[in-house]
Structure 1
Amino acid sequence: MYVKNCIYCGSTDLNAEHVFGDWLKNFLPRKNKKRAVAFFRGGKKDNKPQPTSMNVINPRNSPLVSWKIRCVCKTCNSGWMGDVQENAKLVVGPMTNGKSILLDHASKAAIAAWATSVAVTVEYDRHHAPAITPEQRSAFREKKLAPDTFKIWIGKYDCPDDRSVFAKSTHSIYTEAEILADPNKDPTIQNTQTCAFGVGKLYVLVFSSPHHEMLDMVRIKPKAAAVLDQIWPPSPGTLWWPKRAMTDSDAYSIATALRREILKITQN
Structure 2
Amino acid sequence: MAKVCVFCGGAPLTKEHVLPRWLKVALDPSVRKFRYIRLSGGGFQRHDAPPLNDQVKVVCSGCNSGWMNQLEEGVRHFLPALIQGKPCVLDTRAQRALAAWALKTLLMFQYTHRPEVRAVIPAGDFAALHTRRQPTESMLGRLGFMNYPPDDSEPLVDTLCQGYGTTELGGVAWIGTLKIGCMVVQIIRAPDVADGYKLTPFEALPSLRPMWPPEGPIKWPLVAAIPPELMTALALPESLDLNTMPG
TM-score (norm 1): 0.76
**Alpha-carbon distance, 1:105 to partner:** 1.0
Cα shift at 1:174: 5.6
Does 2:14 align with 1:35?
no
| CA shift for structure 1 position 166 | 2.4
CA deviation string 1:131-182 (max 9, x = no partner)? 333333223222322222221111221223233232221121166888xxxx
Task: Tell me whether 1:232 sits opposite 2:216 in the alignment.
Answer: no
Q: Write the deviation string for residues 63-113 of structure 1: whole angstroms up to 9, x where unpaired.
A: 112122221112211111000000011121211111121111101001101
In structure 2, what is the equivalent of residue 99 of structure 1? 86
Relative to structure 1, the CA distance from residue 100 to residue 14 in structure 2 (aligned partners, 3 Å threshold; closer, same or farther) is: same
Answering whether residue 132 of structure 2 is matched by residue 143 of structure 1, we say yes
Does the Cα contact within 8 Å between 1:196 and 1:206 map onto a contact in 2? yes
Residue of structure 2 aligned with 1:63, choices 50, 65, 69? 50
Q: Which residue among 84, 97, 100 is the counterpart of 1:113?
A: 100
2:159 equivalent in structure 1: 166
Identity fraction in percent: 23
Matched, 1:194 2:175: yes
Which has the larger Rg? 1
For residues 111 and 121 of structure 2, the distance between their equivalents in structure 1, rounded to whole angstroms, comes to 11
Conserved 8 A contact 1:150-1:206? yes
- 1:163-214 superposed Cα distances (whole Å, 9 cap, x missing partner): 3232221121166888xxxxxxxxxxxx32112121121111121134227x
Amino acid at match of 2:25: N
Distance in 2, matches of 1:77 and 1:29, equals 27
User: Residue 256 of structure 1: CA displacement?
Assistant: 1.6
* Aligned-partner residue type, residue 169 of structure 1: Q
Residues 37 and 47, structure 2, Cα contact 8 Å, conserved in 1: no
Is the contact made by 1:132 and 1:209 (CA closer than 8 Å) also made in structure 2?
Answer: no
Which sections of structure 2, spanning at least 5 residues, go unmatched? 243-247
Change in 2 beyond 3 A, CA 1:54/1:253: closer
Looking at structure 1, the residues matched to 66 and 227 of structure 2 have their Cα atoms a distance apart, in angstroms, of 38
Greater share of helix residues, 1 or 2?
1
